[in-house]
Amino acid sequence: MPELPEVETVVRGLRAAVIGDTIESVWIGSRHQPLKSPAAEIVPALEGATIAAVRRMGKHIVIDLSIGDHPAAHFIVHLGMTGQLVVSRPEADTPKHTHLIAKLASGRELRFTDPRMFGKLAVTHEFDPGGIEPLDLTLEQFVPLFRRRKTPIKSALLNQQLLRGVGNIYADEALYRAGIRPRRRASSLTHAELQKLYQAVQQVLHEAIAAGGSSVSDYVGATGEPGFFQLQHRVYGREGERCLRCKTAVKRIVISGRSSHYCPKCQK
């Protein structure tokens, strides 16, 4: 599933490719699962609009549209598990599971494909996904988010109403770097531990963005090429393998239905 760094990578690719381009026409497929707004709202909001900006909010891609010089709707794309938003030449084969094609004035096409259809497409005039951007917040804002939470720290990190965009992989990686067990109650963390965790979250996300996002499952970047350099996962997906620090076998447990990986020796 694309997480914050993957979405950021897609956003940066799109930004370089489509800003200033105008959407001439929009085709929407017959499958309605990915549509959070009805096709009858999406099509007129997009057609004739210029792409003024492409931003990331948590794991959402926010495309700011304008009509002439006037701000218009936001086109919101959530990639879900397998969604891809790709700029293609019109002659490129249309992949199966293409749900939206926006023809651009430059001659190219912005295509949304999603085999598993957990992705979401919407248009709106106001968008607030809740939570705070993990890369924008200070330590002083981070610490109180977790102070009174009785849930495991792993669940709190995944709570999108607290930090938006931190997903399973980077939560595991950050907890490993901070030396904190995923099952620890958030409220039991000391200030020093929260400080370490804050730094680890920032570090892991920045490194992953610099690496172009981890290439997991069906994820590809905005121009469609797979095979990004992958951030070396230190614990995620390494169940039974040796901890890179102390050689203890990495454990996997399930917390709130999600796999959590940790080193029983390095993480307290």
User: Quick check: 55 binds Zn ion (CB under 5 A)?
Assistant: no
Q: How far is the CB of 267 from Zn ion (least distance, A)?
A: 7
CA-wise closest residue to 183 among 147, 150, 154: 154
Contact with Zn ion (CB under 5 A) among 32, 147, 242, 245:
245
From the candidates 3, 6, 109, 173, give the one annotated as an active-site residue: 3
- What does the alpha-carbon distance between residue 62 and residue 65 come to, in Å, rounded to a whole number? 9
Contact with Zn ion (CB under 5 A) among 152, 243, 261, 262:
243
Reply yes or no on whether 226 is catalytic.
no
Residue closer to Zn ion by CB (options 72, 235) is 235
The contacts of residue 135 (CB under 8 Å, 6+ apart) are 4, 202, 205, 206
CA-wise closest residue to 266 among 242, 233, 240, 231: 242
* Binding piece for Zn ion, criterion CB under 5 A, among 13-21, 52-60, 116-124, 245-253: 245-253
User: Quick check: 87 binds Zn ion (CB under 5 A)?
Assistant: no
Reply yes or no on whether 59 is catalytic.
yes
* Binding piece for Zn ion, criterion CB under 5 A, among 33-41, 151-159, 193-201, 247-255: 247-255
What one-letter code names the amino acid at 247?
A: K
CA-wise closest residue to 33 among 118, 113, 102: 118
Reply yes or no on whether 225 is catalytic.
no
Secondary structure class of 226 (helix, strand, coil): coil
Question: Is there a contact between 215 and 227 (Cβ–Cβ < 8 Å)?
Answer: yes
Question: Is there a contact between 111 and 94 (Cβ–Cβ < 8 Å)?
Answer: yes
Reply yes or no on whether 2 is catalytic.
yes
Q: How far is the CB of 59 from Zn ion (least distance, A)?
A: 29
- What does the alpha-carbon distance between residue 77 and residue 167 come to, in Å, rounded to a whole number? 17
User: Quick check: 194 binds Zn ion (CB under 5 A)?
Assistant: no
Question: Is there a contact between 146 and 161 (Cβ–Cβ < 8 Å)?
Answer: no
User: Quick check: 26 binds Zn ion (CB under 5 A)?
Assistant: no
Contact with Zn ion (CB under 5 A) among 92, 105, 210, 246:
246
- What does the alpha-carbon distance between residue 49 and residue 154 come to, in Å, rounded to a whole number? 41
User: Quick check: 171 binds Zn ion (CB under 5 A)?
Assistant: no
User: Quick check: 178 binds Zn ion (CB under 5 A)?
Assistant: no
User: Quick check: 235 binds Zn ion (CB under 5 A)?
Assistant: no
From the candidates 59, 111, 164, 251, give the one annotated as an active-site residue: 59
Catalytic residue list: 2-3, 59, 258
Binding-site ranges for Zn ion (CB under 5 A): 243, 245-246, 248, 263, 265-266
